[in-house]
Amino acid sequence: MSVLVFIECADGKVKKSSFEAACYGQQVAASLGTEIVAIAIGEVATEELKSLGKYGAAKVLVDEEPRLKDYVSQAYTKVVAAAAEKENASVIILSNTNIGSGIGARLAARLQACYAANVVALPEISGDTLKVKKSVFSGKAFAEENLSASTKIIAIKKNSIEVKETGSGEAAIETFTTALTDADLNGVPQETVRATGDVLLTEADIVVSGGRGMRGPENWHLIEDLAKALGAATACSKPVADVGWRPHHEHVGQTGITISPNLYIAVGISGAIQHLAGVNSSKVIVVINKDPEAPFFKAADYGIVGDIFEVVPKLIEEAKALAK
């Protein structure tokens, strides 16, 4: 019996959300008296994979099949299922990303497993049952669910688990191959064009986001300059993307991307529930709005009541000074 953790990679590196999944897996494995094995797919730097040893992975299986350089749902599912069978995994941990949730649902069907997505805390373990807490209704409530099938799949919501090194060892790397058919590979991406700039929005620790209060795209340099000074990604509210001030892939909320950065700075955004649905699991929320009655202040950890065009240039100056 083991706990298998699926590791997502981008640009040859392990994504932060996968370190979170490894830490979660390590703690579950410790409670079950077993160890974690990780599975990574595609080209990933060996040092990155070895570093998973610091987060409890004794071994990392790597499938470097060139056709799996980019995510292919059926094929990735088959590889993870084969790794789970090889390692006799009773618990499989994924990150609750687009890729993780795509694989999770397919895996559950393939392995006759139970699957809990959006999990926000370590499970309570009672015999063969894992009780998990998950975020539901776009982050407005929590649900507890008992997972009792012999194979359990858990997808961790980003930023729910602190990434902590638990050891100094290096994980052993083992090449892993899975026999794939043409049918497994009938949806291979031909080209991937990076949507965001320097910092990937879904992986960013800090996000600076602008709303209709920015008045127009000609003022977006304020959002970009603040983001640059903080090493942050940029985002926006839906109407901003709808009118074409910003591209749609930056739109966060119920109908856009869901993010959970450590710091979310909302500039000139009112805080409608549809917007909050995509950002309310951020660790710290800072709101800048000239209207003290703006609903976003109720969800904020820190609020600045003031005019964007006075407040943000000062913040940029301060952030630049701190970075020196």
Ligand X SMILES: Cc1cc2nc3c(=O)[nH]c(=O)nc-3n(C[C@H](O)[C@H](O)[C@H](O)COP(=O)(O)OP(=O)(O)OC[C@H]3O[C@@H](n4cnc5c(N)ncnc54)[C@H](O)[C@@H]3O)c2cc1C
**273 marked among binding-site residues:** yes
Interface size with ligand X, residues (CB under 6 A) = 26
Nearer to ligand X, 83 or 294 (CB): 294
Length of the chain: 324
**110 marked among binding-site residues:** no
> What character string, x for contact with ligand X (CB under 6 A) and - otherwise, covers 232-271?
-----xxxx----------x-xxxx-----------xxx-
> Do the Cβ atoms of 225 and 249 come closer than 8 Å?
no
Q: How far apart are CA 105 and CA 22, in angstroms?
A: 20
Q: Which of 50, 249, 290, 320 binds ligand X (CB under 6 A)?
A: 290
275 touching ligand X, by CB under 6 A: yes
Residue range at the interface with ligand X (CB under 6 A); choices 7-15, 59-67, 199-207, 272-280: 272-280
Instruction: Report which of 75, 61, 86, 54 is spatially closest to residue 5, judged by C-alpha positions.
Output: 61
**26 marked among binding-site residues:** no
294 touching ligand X, by CB under 6 A: yes
Q: Which two tokens stand for residue 11?
A: 């640009």
Residue range at the interface with ligand X (CB under 6 A); choices 22-30, 32-40, 184-192, 307-315: 307-315
303 touching ligand X, by CB under 6 A: no
18's torsion region: left (phi>0), alpha (psi -120 to 50) or beta? alpha
Q: How far apart are CA 138 and CA 66, in angstroms?
A: 36
Q: How far apart are CA 50 and CA 260, in angstroms?
A: 27
Nearer to ligand X, 108 or 286 (CB): 286
> Do the Cβ atoms of 290 and 274 come closer than 8 Å?
no
Q: Which of 307, 314, 317, 318 binds ligand X (CB under 6 A)?
A: 307
Nearer to ligand X, 69 or 290 (CB): 290
**99 marked among binding-site residues:** no
**146 marked among binding-site residues:** no
Nearer to ligand X, 172 or 309 (CB): 309
Q: Count the Cβ atoms, other than its own, within 10 Å of residue 300.
A: 19
Residue range at the interface with ligand X (CB under 6 A); choices 8-16, 180-188, 195-203, 306-314: 306-314
> Do the Cβ atoms of 39 and 18 come closer than 8 Å?
no
Using only C-alpha atoms, the chain has a radius of gyration, in whole angstroms, of 21
36 touching ligand X, by CB under 6 A: no
Q: Identify the burial level of 290 via C-beta atoms within 10 angstroms of its C-beta, where 0-12 means exposed, 13-18 middle and 19 or more buried.
A: middle
List of residues 6+ apart from 321 with CB closer than 8 A? none
Nearest position to ligand X, beta carbon:
253
**212 marked among binding-site residues:** yes
Binding residues for FAD: 212, 268-275, 289, 307-308
Residues that bind ligand X in the complex, under the rule CB under 6 A: 211-213, 237-240, 251, 253-256, 268-270, 272, 274-275, 278, 289-291, 294, 307-309
